[in-house]
């Protein structure tokens, strides 16, 4: 089958997220990167294009030049889908222009700066019927998808509680240095990152994972956030209490200053009959706990898994899969959507997930500012 022609906004030399998306697209094997705007510095963008064997004429200096250049090409040569891997402040502007000009979009999160911007993108996607995916990468792990299917089957009984945490430590060394150490870290600058650092960057992943696996929407949040140091403008640590339907309670704990932590994302769903636990740092293991029988361990690439989980495995059993394969599954779902194929429930996060994420971030920040009160999503 012919590969989908892919473009990229941002993600040039030295960009971790851009590299992750390119690797994922290659693992997926349904896309071919042939052009884009790879840097705000056009010369650096051209250097990157040369490294990737991208034709010079498909390396553009700006988004406007990209759109104009691609729309002059015949449909059978034009870039079809575009990955947006820029800093947060460009997501809305780029996604809006690309969608309005007929390009499918894969966008890094958070989707926008504000809820209103997110809802505007939702309207555009609904109107254009184009494929739009948000890079909540962790939903691409086979065992997260197995978790979703187990919950859907009812094995857990009535859900009593959900508990998610996302701990990192990389910002700790930055803020504990000199004041100038914060300079240039765009995730700590509201002009680039938006209204939140910790909850906007990683807490929203925990939020999305809860809604993805349980199939339930969080109804209310109460947040206690901290910038940790006086000269930091955005939150770097926080706890959020949750209320879900049917009086289900939950909590999200998130930090970017947990010294020694790497990428410690975990989720647990506790039910009346059984519970499930999964950790991103050991993603091939899904644990099902019960008072009545020994703990069960699910692993990828086994016939006991759901059809969705089996369709998401890349390697045979016993061969560890990681973040690139998970993101590759998101890309695989987008490719299937672009081609009009039948999709599993939850193959990739949609624009609706982007709206939900922005409502979470906005209400968490408001809850904290207004004295740690409950806010309705």
- Which pLDDT belongs to residue 190? 87
Q: Which CATH number fits domain 141-315+351-376: 3.30.360.10, 3.90.980.10, 1.10.443.10, 3.40.50.11540?
A: 3.30.360.10
Instruction: Residue 23: name the closest of 344, 322, 334 by CA.
Output: 322
For residue 155, the tally of other CB atoms under 10 A from its CB is: 14
Tokens of 340: 């009009």
Q: Residue 215 and residue 165: Cα distance in Å, rounded?
A: 18
DSSP SS3 for 103? coil
Which own/partner pairs from 270-275 qualify as long-range (CB within 8 Å, at least 24 positions apart)? 270/156, 270/159, 270/160, 270/161, 270/162, 270/163, 271/155, 271/156, 271/157, 271/158, 271/159, 271/160, 272/156, 272/157, 272/158, 272/159, 272/160, 273/155, 273/156, 273/157, 274/155, 274/156, 274/157, 275/156
C-beta separation of 9 from 86 below 8 A: yes
Q: What is the 3-state secondary structure (H, E, C) of 236-296?
A: CEEEEEEEEHHHEEEEEEEECCCCCCCCEEEEEEEECCCEEEEECCCCCCEEEECCCCCCE
Query: For residues 254, 16, 18 and 238, what is the CA-based torsion angle, rounded to 10 degrees?
Result: 10
Cα–chain center distance at 14: 20
| CATH entry 3.40.50.720 includes domain 4-137 | yes
Q: Residue 377 and residue 361: Cα distance in Å, rounded?
A: 10
Task: For residue 110, say if its preceding peptide bond is cis, omega within 30 degrees of 0.
Answer: yes
Q: What is the largest CA-CA distance in the chain?
A: 65
- Which pLDDT belongs to residue 182? 54
- Which pLDDT belongs to residue 223? 98
C-beta separation of 32 from 59 below 8 A: no
- Which pLDDT belongs to residue 180? 42
- Which pLDDT belongs to residue 184? 54
- Which pLDDT belongs to residue 259? 94
Q: Which helix (H) or strand (E) holds 4?
A: strand 4-9
Classify burial at 96, counting beta carbons within 10 Å of its beta carbon; exposed 0-12, middle 13-18, buried 19 or more: middle
C-beta separation of 90 from 83 below 8 A: no
Q: Residue 61 and residue 34: Cα distance in Å, rounded?
A: 15
The full set of domain ranges for the chain reads 4-137, 141-315+351-376
**Residue whose tokens read 């240095």:** 177
- Positions in the chain short of pLDDT 50: 179-181
Q: Residue 132 and residue 145: Cα distance in Å, rounded?
A: 20
- Which pLDDT belongs to residue 187? 80
pLDDT in tens, 298-308: 999 999 999 99
C-beta separation of 314 from 129 below 8 A: no
């Amino acid at each position: 089958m012919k590969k989908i022609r892919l473009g990229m906004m941002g993600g040039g030399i030295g960009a971790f997220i851009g590299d992750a998306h390119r690797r994922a697209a290659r693992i997926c094997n349904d896309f071919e990167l042939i052009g884009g705007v790879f840097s705000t510095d056009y010369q650096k963008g051209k250097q990157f294009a040369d490294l990737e064997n991208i034709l010079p004429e498909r390396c553009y200096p700006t988004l406007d030049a990209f759109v104009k250049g691609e729309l002059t090409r015949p449909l059978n040569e034009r870039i079809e889908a575009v990955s947006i891997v820029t800093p947060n402040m460009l997501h809305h502007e780029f996604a809006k222009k690309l969608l309005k000009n007929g390009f499918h979009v894969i966008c890094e999160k958070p989707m926008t700066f504000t809820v209103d911007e997110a809802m505007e993108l939702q309207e555009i996607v609904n109107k254009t019927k184009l494929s739009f995916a948000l890079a909540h990468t962790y939903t691409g792990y086979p065992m997260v998808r197995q978790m979703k299917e187990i919950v859907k089957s009812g094995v857990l009984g009535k859900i009593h509680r959900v508990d998610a945490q996302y701990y990192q430590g990389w910002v700790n060394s930055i803020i504990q240095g000199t004041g100038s150490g914060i300079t240039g870290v765009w995730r700590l600058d509201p002009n680039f990152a938006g209204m939140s650092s910790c909850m906007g960057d990683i807490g929203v992943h925990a939020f999305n994972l809860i809604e993805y696996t349980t199939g339930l929407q969080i109804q209310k949040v109460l947040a206690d956030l901290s910038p940790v140091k006086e000269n930091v403008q955005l939150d770097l640590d926080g706890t959020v209490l949750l209320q879900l339907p049917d009086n289900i309670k939950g909590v999200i704990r998130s930090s970017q200053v947990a010294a020694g932590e790497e990428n410690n994302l975990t989720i647990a769903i506790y039910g009346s009959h059984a519970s499930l636990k999964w950790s991103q740092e050991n993603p091939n293991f899904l644990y099902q706990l019960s008072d009545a029988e020994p703990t069960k361990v699910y692993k990828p690439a086994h016939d006991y898994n759901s059809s969705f989980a089996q369709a998401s495995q890349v390697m045979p059993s016993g061969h560890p899969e990681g973040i690139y394969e998970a993101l590759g599954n998101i890309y695989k779902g987008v490719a299937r959507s672009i081609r009009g194929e039948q999709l599993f429930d939850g193959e990739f996060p949609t624009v609706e997930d982007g709206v939900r994420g922005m409502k979470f971030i906005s209400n968490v920040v408001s809850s904290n500012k207004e004295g740690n009160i409950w806010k309705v999503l």
